[in-house]
Structure formats: structure tokens, C-alpha cells
Amino acid sequence: MIAARYLRARRKEAFISVIASLTMVGVAIGVATLIVVMSVMNGFRGELLDKILGLNGHFTAYPIESQFTDYKETVDALQTVNGVKFAVYYAEGQVLASGRGGSTGVSVRGMDEENLKKLTLLYNSAEQGGFDSWDQNDGVAIGYRLAQTLGVGLGDQVQIINPDSGAMTPFGSTPQIKSYPVRTIFNLGMVEFDSLFMFMPLQTAQDYFKLYDDVLKAGQGPLDPMASDEEIDAAYERIYRASGAEIFIDDPDNVSVMRERIAATPGLRPLLLNDWQQRNETFFSALQVERVVMFTILSMIVLVAAFNIISSLVMLVKDKSKDIAVLRTMGATRGAIMRIFSITGTTIGVVGTLSGLVLGLIVAANAEALRSSISNLLGVTLFPPEVFFLSSLPSKTDPTEVTVVVVMALGLSFLATLYPAWRAAQYDPVEALRYE
């Protein structure tokens, strides 16, 4: 009762009450800021991880010792490994793509419709056109940012140039130049993928990059030197090969165990495995360091608010010295005096922490809407996708981190009350009332 009365403003203690209110606001802002920033950083990491691993597997398998002509059998064997969700094979190459509006380097990946359907992030991201009847398609699929760069739309021709797979001449190989219509424009929501990748049917990519070998059919005898082109074509069989395979597992963090399981799969051809942690080690390590640093820096806001609790309580104790003396003469113990001022300071921390918790959760849940509103109001692009890789501001609240923030704020608020409360308990009532 006494602690609650000390928190209420009266004309004489109005200044102290204002200090207490500002301290409460400081705690709330510190807690809310921590929750919002950590939620955005969690969402940023999770969204990047989902996008990266939604298109590229947890493992990328490359053939060694021989050409990857048995890619279908290899993928079937990989999918029998315990812990592997699915695997896909692909043909890949780097080309220069040009359209009406410009040209840029792109990564072309050839996949059949069966494997495309496994990549639900890509398959469901088509904004124009689609991936239906993909294997019978004569065109390509590109990201919407790549479409903007090339200045093309659905049905327009895209010319791709590969300097390595053209016809051989006495002066070297000539660049291979072909044009394909745009059949699909997709939006993965990640700048790197939407501006870099181009997809085409598997066999089309294999033919373009010459990922095949023409070998004599089994039982075929020596060819007549005077054989016609038709006879030569009939005598040879075209064996296609893939560039590699992507392996998707149930637990992305279990790569070391899964690497051993895959390597121990009986009958599996030799493969060089490169996991997602190796491919993105520097990037995600930097994100982790940034999270720790941001948490440490922003915790200082709560620490400063805790020091404000100390200052406001010290002023309150000084102002209430005569009240403390009267309470002591009426029989109040030192412990009772400590409890009064501890409750006063802790109440400031509890109310501020709970207010910050509610505010932080609301802001974190509406981070993208707030970003859009502020961007429209100021006419400035906040979190530009070219810098942050994502086209929207993600937010993912972690209950464990929120609990840590709340417990930390409450703990600092309680610790901040101990010294002023102890000082109040040490007041000598005789000295306090000597001149009254």
C-alpha cells in the first residue's frame, strides 16, 4: 500500500513521479526494441534459409571418376537413404542472356517437370505463365527481375550465348547462339535468384550445352567409310548426362550425420558432396555475429533504464526521509523499509517490461506493413531488396528469445532497486527527525 502511494503523483512529488514515468517508458522502449530487432533478424535468417534451401539442396552432389550418365539411378538410390526427403538432378551452365532492354550473365538450369514439382518454392512462384507441360515446352522460365533487366515479357524471345559449346573451326570454337521464348516468369522473393536464374527443360539444356556423348550402339559393326549421314545417325546412340544433383534432407542442421549415411549407401556411385553450411558459411556466420552484437548493444537501452530506476529511487528515498523515520519509530523494521522501496522500483520495471512486451510483439507482427507505410510516407525505400536480398521485411518471433529479454529486464529492474532500498533501510530515525 505504501509503495503504491509513493508511485502516485502528488503536487509536492510531481517531479519524482515524472522521473519514474520516464524510467518506465525507457524500460518499455528497450524491451520493445530488443523484441522487434531480434524478431526481424530471426525472420531475415529464416527467410534467407528457406529461399536458399528451397532452390538449392542441403547437399549438392557432383559426379567423380566418370560422367554422370546414371543420374536417374543415382537419384533413386539417394531417395532411399533414411533422412533424405527427395533429390533432383539437373543440367547447368553459364551464359550471356540478352533481350530488347539489355543483357546480363545468367545461370541456366535444365530440369524436367517431375523434378520441378519437387521444388515447390519454384513451382508455385510462377506469376505469369506456368510449368504445366514443361517437358514439351520449347521456352524458358526466368525471374521477374531478370525479365526487367532484359526488357522482355511473356512470349518475347531471349537470346542466350555460350562461348564454349559452339561449332569447332580451324580458328577455335565459335559461340553458340540460340533464342528461346519466355514461357514463365516467376517471383521467388529473393533478389539473387530472381535476377540470376533461368530454367529450361532438361533435354533442351542438355542439347544446348552438349551434355551428351554419341556412342556406337551395342552390336554395331564398323561403319562403311562411304556411309550416308542417315546411316551414321542410325548407328550411334546419344547418351545424355547431368551436371549434378541436389539432395534435400529432413533436418538441415544434421548434415554431418547425413553425409556419412549417404557415403555409406550400398551401390551408390562416387559423389563429391558439398553441403549448404559449407556453401554459405561466411554469410550465415556473419548473420550470427550480427545478431549477438545487436542484442548486446540494444541491451544497453534496458541497462540505462535500470540506472534511471536507481536515480529515481534515490531521489524518492531522499524526499521520503522523514516518512521513513516516522515509519521506523512506529515499529517498521529495516526489512520492511527495504521491501517498500524494492516494490516501488520493481513495479516501475514490471509495468515498463510488460508494456514493452506488448508493444514489441505488436510491432514485430506488423513489421512489413509498418515498413511499407513509412516508406510511402517518407518516399524512401527502407530495406532496399538490392541490399538485403529479400523483397519484403520478414519477422519471426522466437518465444525463447522473448522470454530471455523479459527475464533480463525484470532482473535488471529488481537489481536496480537493491541499493536505494538498502540506503533507505539504513536511515537513522533520530537523525532524520532531529530538526523537525
pLDDT by residue (tens digit) across 81-95?
999 999 999 999 999
Angle at 72 between CA 129 and CA 259, to 5 degrees: 105
- When pLDDT is averaged across residues 51-78 and rounded to a whole number, the result is 86
Task: Tell whether 314 and 224 lie within a shared domain.
Answer: no
**Residue 179's pLDDT is what?**
92
Task: Classify residue 95: in a domain, yes or no.
Answer: yes
Domain-ending residue, one of 241, 264, 297: 241
Give yes or no for a contact between 159 and 140, defined as CB atoms under 8 angstroms apart: no
Would you place residue 432 in the very low, low, confident or very high pLDDT band (cuts 50, 70, 90)? low
pLDDT at 184: 92
- Whether residue 147 is found in the same domain as residue 29: no
State the Cα–Cα distance between residues 91 and 187, nearest whole angstrom.
22
- In this structure, are 416 and 319 located in the same domain? yes
The pLDDT assigned to 232 comes to: 62
Which of 210, 241, 272 is the last residue before a domain boundary?
Answer: 241
Exposure pattern of 383-395 as b/e (b: 16+ CB <10 Å)?
bebeeebbbebbb
Pair 180, 306 in one domain: no
At 111 the pLDDT is: 92
225 in any annotated domain: yes
| pLDDT band at 199; cut points 50, 70, 90 | very high
How buried is 250 (Cβ within 10 angstroms: 0-12 exposed, 13-18 middle, 19+ buried)?
exposed
- Asked whether residue 15 carries a pLDDT value surpassing 60, the answer given is no
Stretch 53-73: mean pLDDT, rounded? 86
- pLDDT for res 222: 66
Residue 112 belongs to some domain of the structure: yes
> From CA 220, how far away is CA 215, in angstroms rounded?
10
Q: Which one-letter amino acid corresponds to residue 313?
A: L
Instruction: Evaluate if pTM is beyond 0.85.
Output: no
Residue 231 has a pLDDT of 64
**Is residue 117 exposed (0-12), middle (13-18) or buried (19+ Cβ within 10 Å)?**
middle
Strands 84-98, 168-169: pairing kind: unpaired
Q: Are residues 36 and 160 in the same domain?
A: no
pLDDT on residue 176 = 83
Residue 264 located in a structural domain: no
Q: Is residue 69 part of a domain?
A: no
Domain range holding 398?
2-49+283-433
Looking at residue 89, the DSSP 8-state letter turns out to be E
Query: Of 249, 200, 241, 240, nearest to 56 (Cα)?
Result: 249
CB 89 within 8 A of CB 203: no
Average pLDDT over residues 98-102: 88
Last residue of a domain, one of 188, 217, 241: 241
More confident position, 233 or 16: 233
Q: Please tell me the predicted confidence (pLDDT) of residue 6.
A: 65
Both 309 and 392 in one domain: the answer is: yes
Q: Are 117 and 86 in contact (CB under 8 A)?
A: no
Q: How confident is the model at residue 42 (pLDDT cuts 50, 70, 90)?
A: confident
User: 180 near 200, Cβ under 8 Å?
Assistant: yes
Place of cell 521520503: 320
Q: Measure the CA–CA gap between 402 and 161, rounded to whole angstroms.
A: 52
Cell numbers that stand for 385 in this block: 531488396
107 domain-assigned: yes
When mean pLDDT is compared across 123-137, 150-164, 278-292, the lowest value belongs to 278-292
pLDDT over 90 percentage in the chain:
19
Question: Residues 232-281: pLDDT tens digits?
Answer: 666 677 889 999 999 999 888 888 899 999 988 888 888 999 888 888 77
Q: Which has the minimum average pLDDT: 92-101, 153-162, 291-300?
A: 291-300
- Whether 9 and 146 map to the same domain: the answer is no
Lowest mean pLDDT among 46-55, 178-187, 254-263, 269-278: 46-55
Tell me, yes or no, whether 98 and 233 share the same domain. Answer: yes
Residue 22: the pLDDT is 80
The per-residue pLDDT for range 299-330, each reduced to its tens digit, is: 888 888 888 888 777 777 777 777 777 777 77
Total structural domains within the chain: 2
The stretches of 56-173 forming alpha helices (DSSP H) are 71-78, 113-118, 120-123, 144-150
**90's grid cell:** 539437373
Q: Nearest CA to 56 among 196, 238, 205?
A: 196
Report the alpha-carbon distance of residue 208 to residue 139 in Å, rounded.
13
What DSSP string describes 354-372? HHHHHHHHHHHHTHHHHHH
Which is nearest to 359 in space by CA: 17, 33, 14?
Answer: 33
Q: Looking at the structure, do residues 96 and 204 belong to the same domain, yes or no?
A: yes
Q: Please provide the distance, in angstroms rounded to a whole number, between the alpha carbons at the two ends of the chain.
A: 25
What DSSP state is assigned to residue 82?
Answer: T
DSSP state of 223: P
In a shared domain, residues 304 and 203: no
88 SS3 class: strand
Judgement on whether residues 175 and 307 belong to the same structural domain of the protein: no
CA separation, residue 138 to residues 23, 134, 201, 243 (Å): 67, 8, 8, 21
Residues 39 and 110 in one domain: no
The answer to whether the CB of 412 falls within 8 A of the CB of 345 is no
Is the sign of the CA dihedral 103, 108, 110, 114 positive or negative?
Answer: negative
When pLDDT is averaged across residues 381-400 and rounded to a whole number, the result is 70
* Sheet strands (E) in 172-251: 172-173, 176-186, 197-201, 212-216, 236-240, 244-249
